[in-house]
Each structure stands twice: as structure tokens, then as C-alpha cells.
Chains A and B, each alone.
Chain A
């Protein structure tokens, strides 16, 4: 197994109390696979990614669990050791390429820097390799583009540059956090196809974080659905969309407009709002918004249980049985 995240806990100690941004999250991913993590703002999906990269911002801290990456116990590595892995063996792509590129260096200089740092390439060799990387991610006329600055490129091109940077050392793991959210739909389709192709050709594991169930359905092999810092459902993409079992997943899928024979007049909704992590309810964190709620949900937090065939659900109500009845 390339990456095993086990019972990861990342907490923020603030004046409002302890914020459990990531609370007991576990998953695994193998090379060549795509894991989708889906959830709304504040569900902990980005903080899970930051924890794996060991980039949790202050006052956040990883307070529990294990992350095993390619034989390394990531939480035990020194800062120097983790820095050597980051950008080399594991890389990250962020939502907004404009703020993650340095505006005062050319595209070429920024990619070449990674190659010189991690691969010890000489300047000319690094630039040569940069050119072929830009070619790989579909940037036309790379010889000219490497001399350009980020502001001279479009959003889609900048995201391609970010991807070129991420794959520059052929990492075994790429984490893409909302990589297409800032892009237009026709450009989004291009970038998703590119990411999928690269996972195949480089045999890289990809963790794709998104709020968009459509993107997850089209790209991921497996999916983890997060809510209030926890994974509430985990299954293969096919299984999750065909047979969602957690009320939150069901609600999310139902709230997307559908166009069958009869056009529904009203969209189905999940009542209430995404809770603040400092004001979570007792028991199941989803209980104030849940339409299947039973007494038990108010008192005790359910565990993530395998309902069979690797389809995990964190819910007291067995919707699998109630559905088949």
C-alpha cells in the first residue's frame, strides 16, 4: 500500500475551544488509483490533505493517528526529511494557481528550481526537462512559455503549470485540492482528462479533493465522503453512487437537479446549514439535519462500519436494510 492514513486527528486549539478539523480519518490508496474526497466547506477535506503533506497551519496540530507513506512514518520524520519527500515523492496541486505560483519568477525558473533541488540537475538540463514537462501537460509552444511570468497566462494554463510542477519529479502521490474549481467548465474538462491520463502514464496515486459530486463520479475509483471532520461514507465510486447509504450522501445526491421524464418542480434539500466546527452537536454530527434521525443519534457517535464489500458507513440507521424491505 502506498499511503495508509490511520485514525488521523488534526485539531486546532483556539480561544473558542478545540476545533476538530480532522477527527479520526482513515483511508488507503495504491499507486495508479484515484481516491476522491468529497464534502462541503469546513468538512476537513483540505486539512486532511495538509496533514498528509505535514503543512498544517498554526495553531493546528496533528494530535493523533498514523500516516504511512511508501514505508515512511510521516509523522515521525524530521522537518528536513519531510521537505525532501515533498515535491519529490509527493506533490500537491492547489485550487488557485495564481496564489501558489511566485509572481516574480518565470514559469521556467520555478519548475527548474524543483528539479535542481530534488534532482540536482544543472541549469541547462533542468530547463530542457522543464520544456518537455510543459509539453506533457499540453502547453503549446513550451520554449516560449518557460520565459513567461504567471500573470501572462490564463487560469487554465497556470493550472497546467502547477500540474507540470507537481509531476516534475514523477512523484508516487499527488494531492489535488479543488484543482478545477476556479476554472471554466470547458477548461475543467481538459484538466480532469489530463490528471487522469497522468495517473495512468506515471502510475501515480491521486487524491482528488472536490465539493462537486459530478467531478468525483467522473474521475475517482473510490470515494470518501466527509462531514464535520469525519469520513461518513466510503466505497467504490460505482457503489457509492448506485447505493448511497449515509443520509448526508443521499441528501447531497438528491439536491442535484435531475432531468428524467418528469421535471421535478422543486429541488430536494438538506435542511439547516453546515455547522461550525466549534458548535457541533452531541452524538452523530449530522443529526440536526438528518431526516432519518432516531433517539440514539442524539447521544452516541456511530462508528464507521463495513456494511459488506468495503462499503463503509458511519450511521446508526441501517438504510441498506430499510431500502431492501
Chain B
């Protein structure tokens, strides 16, 4: 975890939406609203948060699948927003993505061999024979049999399809994989299989993951560090054990307390129930954007925008009151 593989500085993505049937006023969705983080080599950083917090947009931004409004994304020493198309294609070899929906992310008209081989062809790697051997090896790696090659995605179950997606993502031996909710579409008994596979590959091939998820148990299992997002901003970022044992931001505290515990005696624990809904990223609340739902809100929170402050060993929190309970 020494070299920084990826450094994100001041990243923003604003989308314009037209309001009303006839297009009138243009409003701005602050999907990602100025975030900073780093991912080291061989490190798993998770982004967690509820719908609309900007975690998936962040994942797409760092692969430059969408263009940022502002900010820098430095990958292997280069700002990927400034490089030309040819260089971007070269860099893309090193960054891959695994999507949430294993039904929508595989072309139904291609065989599994064609799907997994495609990135090798695009980047002109190996001869036909070599590629074929490579694909066979990749399928074996992700736990699929050789006869899978000639079959089509619809012949596989959800868990197996996600394995095909994983094989495609590791085909080019990338340094970074963005895994966007890779198991949330799968059955409970299958999730553990895919998580184990992802962890195995990470350890063996020293891949870094940006792991985007809302299941906080799985995040705790797979991550080195975790960033909690709310309405386009990082509210807290810390080493995984530190975050789960000593959450300092009131939002993180509420989020962790709300995870249902598969043990009836857990009913005794105190759940911090947040009032109200997640606000729309169009009308961001003033001051701290969490203040309308925060159980610890004071008058100042409405005016002061909190910045991420360091609470020791890389545990950063954006809350003006956090010192009181840190």
C-alpha cells in the first residue's frame, strides 16, 4: 500500500436537467461535489452510501466513462482527463469495471469465449491460439468449466454470469478494478462465492479495487479502507476496522446502526433512526448537507460547510462537532 495508484483531487460532476415539460429552467444535479481520495497499490477502497450519494458516478468518472466537471484524476502518475485518446486507450488496459447487473452487462449474442476474448482482441494481445489458451485459463481461474466457452450468457445462472464478468475484467491484468455493486443482484448463498473469488484474485494478482456497495457487512469483509458518501461528498474516510469500531460522523453512526443483524439478540441494540428522506442532489441543504437529518445538529451546522479533518492515522471526518465525541 505504498505507491499511490490513483489520486483523486477536487472531483466534481454536475449534470444539468431541464425542469418542466417544456424545458424552461435548467437545474443542476450535484452528483459528485468535490471529493478527494487515494487508492494505493494492492488496496481495496470501498465507497458506501445510499442511493443518489454519487458513489456510482464516482466509479464511472475515474474510468473516464463520463467526463468530470472539475478536478483531477491521476492514475499511474498521469491525469487521465488530460491525456489524448491513444494514451487513454493504453491506460484503460490497466483499469476495468465489473457491473452490478450480470444480465445487462454481457452481450447475449456473443459466446462466453468471445466475451472474455474481446478485450484481448481490442488491445491486440497474442495470436488466436494464445488468446484461446488465455481465455481457457481465465475461465478456470473464475471457476467455470471449459465447455462454458461455446455457450451463451443466458445459459448461466446469475452467479456464473458474474464470474464471466470477472473473467473479462481480469483478462488484461489490470491494476485497478471498479466493482460497482458486484454482488447485490445475486442470491444470498451466491454472494459469498463471488466475494471470495474477488478477494482471492485481489490477493493473488495484487489488483486494487474501488469497491462500490451498499451492503456494509460485505464492505467490512473485503475493504482496507472505507469512504462514506452522502449527497456527493465524502463524510468520513478511515481504515475499515477503525470506521466500524469508532464511527465519528453522525451519518456513519446511523448507517452502521441501521444494518439489520442476523441475530435476534441484536434487537436490544440502539438503532439511530434518522428522520426524513435523503434530499435531492438538486437542492443541496446549506452548511453541512446532512444537517436536516442529523440527530446531533446545532445551529452552526446550517451555515458552516465542514471540511474533512484528520482524527489520527488517516481517519478523516467532515463534522464540526466530531471533536466533542472523538
- Tell me if A185 and B262 are in contact (CB < 8 A): no
Chain A residues with Cβ under 8 A from B191's Cβ? Answer: 255
Q: Of the candidates B244, B258, B262, B276, which one forms a contact with A189 in the assembled complex, judged by CB atoms under 8 Å apart?
A: B258
With an 8 A cutoff between CB atoms, is A186 at the interface? Answer: yes
A218, A238, A259 pick with most chain B CB within 10 angstroms: A218
Q: A185-B255, A185-B259, A217-B266 are in contact. Are A273 and B196 (CB under 8 A)?
A: no
- Tell me if A273 and B214 are in contact (CB < 8 A): no
- Tell me if B160 and A189 are in contact (CB < 8 A): no
Chain B residues with Cβ under 8 A from A193's Cβ? Answer: 271, 273
Chain A residues with Cβ under 8 A from B267's Cβ? Answer: 217-218
Q: Of the candidates B217, B258, B263, which one forms a contact with A188 in the assembled complex, judged by CB atoms under 8 Å apart?
A: B258
Q: Of the candidates A184, A190, A214, A289, which one forms a contact with B262 in the assembled complex, judged by CB atoms under 8 Å apart?
A: A214
Q: Of the candidates A184, A187, A217, A273, which one forms a contact with B160 in the assembled complex, judged by CB atoms under 8 Å apart?
A: A273
- Tell me if B264 and A237 are in contact (CB < 8 A): yes
Q: How far is the CB of A190 from chain B (nearest CB, A)?
A: 6
- Tell me if B255 and A211 are in contact (CB < 8 A): no
Write the chain A residue with the least CB distance to B216: A185
Q: How far is the CB of A185 from chain B (nearest CB, A)?
A: 5
With an 8 A cutoff between CB atoms, is B74 at the interface? Answer: no
1/0 per residue, CB under 8 A from B, across A211-222: the answer is 111111110000
- Tell me if A259 and B220 are in contact (CB < 8 A): yes
- Tell me if A40 and B189 are in contact (CB < 8 A): yes
Chain B residues with Cβ under 8 A from A278's Cβ? Answer: none
- Tell me if A217 and B195 are in contact (CB < 8 A): no
Chain B residues with Cβ under 8 A from A270's Cβ? Answer: 189, 192
With an 8 A cutoff between CB atoms, is A256 at the interface? Answer: yes
Write the chain B residue with the least CB distance to A157: B277
A19-27, A47-55, A72-80, A261-269: which lies at the interface:
A261-269
Alpha-carbon gap, A140 to B221, bound state (A): 38
Contacting A at CB under 8 A, from B191-231, are 191-193, 195-196, 199, 214, 216-218, 220-221
Q: How far is the CB of B94 from chain A (nearest CB, A)?
A: 27
Q: Of the candidates A140, A189, A271, A274, which one forms a contact with B157 in the assembled complex, judged by CB atoms under 8 Å apart?
A: A274
- Tell me if A156 and B220 are in contact (CB < 8 A): no
Write the chain B residue with the least CB distance to A193: B273
Chain B residues with Cβ under 8 A from A135's Cβ? Answer: none
Q: How far is the CB of B187 from chain A (nearest CB, A)?
A: 4
Alpha-carbon gap, A273 to B218, bound state (A): 20
Q: A186-B254, A212-B260 are in contact. Are A257 and B220 (CB under 8 A)?
A: yes
Write the chain B residue with the least CB distance to A42: B187
Q: How far is the CB of B124 from chain A (nearest CB, A)?
A: 36
With an 8 A cutoff between CB atoms, is B190 at the interface? Answer: yes
With an 8 A cutoff between CB atoms, is B51 at the interface? Answer: yes
- Tell me if A218 and B264 are in contact (CB < 8 A): yes
Q: A157-B277, A237-B264 are in contact. Are A267 and B221 (CB under 8 A)?
A: yes
A185, A237, A267, A273 pick with most chain B CB within 10 angstroms: A185
Chain B residues with Cβ under 8 A from A192's Cβ? Answer: 260
- Tell me if B189 and A241 are in contact (CB < 8 A): no
Binding site for A on B (CB under 8 A): 50-51, 157-160, 187-193, 195-196, 199, 214, 216-218, 220-221, 244, 254-255, 258-264, 266-267, 271, 273-274, 276-278
